[in-house]
Amino acid sequence: MIFYVSNIPLAFAQNENQFIYNGFLQAKLHLDGSAKITSNGLLQLTNTINNLYPQVCHALYQFPLKFNTTSSGSIPSLSFSTNFVFAIVPQVPNVGGHGMAFTIRPSSNFTNVVGNQYLGLFNSSNEGLTSNHILAIELDTALNPEFGDIDRNHVAIDVNSLNSTDSASAMYFSNKEGKNISLELISGNSTHLWIDYDEAKKLLSVTLAPNGIPKPNQPLMSKSIDLSQYVLESMYVGFSTATGTLIPSNHYVLGWTFNKSGQAQSLDVSKFPSLPRERKPKELPRLMIMVFLIAVTLLLITITGAAYIIGRTEYEEVHEDWERENGPHRFIYKNLYKGFGKVYKGIPPSSNVQIAVKRVSHNSKQGMKKFVAEIISMGRLRHRNLVQLLGYCW
């Protein structure tokens, strides 16, 4: 699904290379996948509704920007500055999708990209090709050893490949405390990311901090890189996100500012839309609950069936050879049962002979062979006032 949101923008657009969005209700964005603008102005890239298949979502500034490969004037042509506030809200605490990335790319066509660990940027065939001309700053919330990930909570610089040029565990430098403090990308809290490239110094800087805290004096990463080798003259800027299956995350962007010809404007936090209220307590996905219940039910059925078969085999009627040689035959118990000490007239299913059925109890301490011997003796008795014993069961 691809659509455009392009009414009168709440963003300033002094020229074609600069914009600012404090919320996205009337933003000029190119969206695909399940990406959407919520009713209160959040840019929602992925969601936790569709968790059966991996999600791949993108949001790009609607128009391509000029990234001239030759410098002119006092401002180097490839320098840019951008910052945005995002939030990754997992459905299950500390378990999320694969993350999101800010990307600069030559096309708004995402036909050949895939989700999961590829973050909607590449696929298994084109990952690593120099012809990609893709720069990405990834916010990775999954550990993928095949790409050399350092952990499941890191920020990285990617050039044409997910084998990162540089990476660092998510943290920020506290100007007040003078030290680095760890950040959890999938905490559900809003986080601010600054990306600045100085072409004169050939230096790409990435800075991270919790939303509401001023930009730290020290960046998380500073990487020497000549973007003129990778960036084309016309490029799109925006976001790419991807999730796996069963346990997805909501990826939000609250505000975004970009400047191709100088320092990006400051975002106004007071104008940001609110994140959805967190559900408490957090519940496991319905699909996982269903799978668990089905598994438990099948296990109980298996145990019950096994117990029935074992019990039936254990108590199954076993005919001994000596029984065939000594008079009366043994009948199936269910054909004679229900006498309860009284004598009943009956007809066995296997014949039309009228019989009398009598239930006889014996001492439980008495041996089985002794009891059978007594029955056999009774079967040999013949008298006009005695009913002949035809068979027995126990």
Residue-wise pLDDT tens digits, 157-171: 999 998 999 999 999
CA dihedral 121, 124, 125, 131 (to 10 degrees): 30
Look at residue 72 and tell me whether its pLDDT is greater than 70.
no
- Of 5-19, 30-44, 84-98, 345-359, the poorest mean pLDDT is in 5-19
**Can you tell me the mean pLDDT for 24-38?**
92
Query: Within the chain, how many helices (H) and strands (E) appear?
Result: 4, 23
**Can you tell me the mean pLDDT for 238-266?**
88
Look at residue 153 and tell me whether its pLDDT is greater than 60.
yes
Domain 2-279 is in which class?
Answer: mainly beta
Quick one: tokens of 344? 């009943």
Look at residue 37 and tell me whether its pLDDT is greater than 90.
yes
In this prediction, what percent of the chain has a pLDDT beyond 70? 74
Look at residue 329 and tell me whether its pLDDT is greater than 70.
no
pLDDT at 362: 54
Q: How many CB atoms lie within 10 A of CB 93?
A: 11
Considering the entire predicted model, what is its pTM?
Answer: 0.67
pLDDT at 151: 92
Mean per-residue pLDDT of the chain: 81
**Listed residue (62, 126, 93, 44) closest to 280, CA to CA:** 93
Domain 321-392 is in which class?
Answer: alpha beta
Look at residue 138 and tell me whether its pLDDT is greater than 60.
yes
Quick one: tokens of 62? 């609607």
